[in-house]
Amino acid sequence: MDDLNQDEINEAEFQRVANILISKFNLARDWDFEIGHDGTVDLIARHAYFTGSEEKLPIKFEEASGNFSLSETKLTTLEGCPHTVLGTFSCASAKITSFIGGPKIVKGSYYASRNNISSLEGLPTEVFRYLDLERLPLTSLEFLPKMVAGTIDFTVNANLPLLRLLSYPLTVIFKVSGSGVSVHEVMEIVEKYQNKKPLRQAIIQCQKELLDAGFAGNARL
């Protein structure tokens, strides 16, 4: 068989991507896509919901122009996700075990609740709206985005270090639920020292108060 020429290869790849988008995504009307020189896909759609049964996305995206959802799927990895999502991104209630491979820029909210993720490594450094980390078995708040325009929702457990929260401005609101710890009492102490200056002194004072109240697992960075 003669080798395919470049146009035939491009057409074959275009059809492959189109078939995947049609069969494995619920897309808004009037959607379109472009394939970059590196083979990644820019999806032009007001919303896109993945409906496939795979554990990994079957194509690699670069940008999604609207909302992009992987919620309630069997995906175990965010590999293949768009680097940039111009709307809201959601992977809630899936089988995801890591944020690595996920979007680096999310212009809307980021929903990731109810996954088996213990580390925040891989999250964007900035979230423009709401960040939902509820019911994740987190062991650290390292890699929590430095800039969040709205609310951060997460679950506190007795061994989750919380002193990193003190560096966040008061414009960031923490909405928390709890597991094995008195959430109201813990967060009352933490929020008392949030954004206090100098930060080093605030951390020392907050740590002491948490230890005195019996929350040694939370009195760490």
Three-state SS across 155-171? EEECCCCCHHHHHCCCC
Question: Residue 122 gets which letter from DSSP?
Answer: T
Is 14 part of a structural domain of the chain? yes
CB of 108 closer than 8 Å to CB of 83: no
199 inside domain: no
Q: Is residue 72 part of a domain?
A: yes
Asked whether residue 163 is domain-assigned, the answer is no
Structure tokens given for 14: 């275009």
The predicted pLDDT at position 204 comes to 98
What pLDDT does 128 receive? 86
- The structure tokens listed for 161 are 């270090």
Domain range holding 125? 6-149
**pLDDT 10s digit of each residue in the chain, 221 long?**
344 455 665 899 999 999 999 999 999 989 999 999 999 999 999 999 999 999 999 999 999 999 999 999 999 999 999 999 999 999 999 999 999 999 999 999 999 999 999 999 999 988 889 999 999 999 999 999 988 888 999 999 999 999 999 999 988 899 999 877 799 999 999 999 999 999 999 999 999 999 999 999 999 99
Q: Phi-psi region for residue 145, left (φ > 0), alpha (ψ -120 to 50) or beta?
A: beta
In a domain, 182, yes or no: no
172 within a domain of the structure (yes/no): no
Q: Give the whole-angstrom CA distance, residue 185 versus residue 35.
A: 52
> What pLDDT is recorded for position 183?
92
Contact 112, 132 (CB under 8 A): yes
Judge whether 160 lies within some domain: no
Task: Determine, yes or no, domain membership for 16.
Answer: yes
CA dihedral 56, 62, 66, 68 (to 10 degrees): 10
What integer pLDDT is reported at residue 148 of this predicted model?
86
Q: Give the pLDDT confidence score for residue 1 in this predicted structure.
A: 34
The model's pTM: 0.92
Rounded to the nearest 5 degrees, what angle is found at the Cα of 193, between the Cα atoms of 168 and 209?
135
Name the domain count of the chain.
Answer: 1
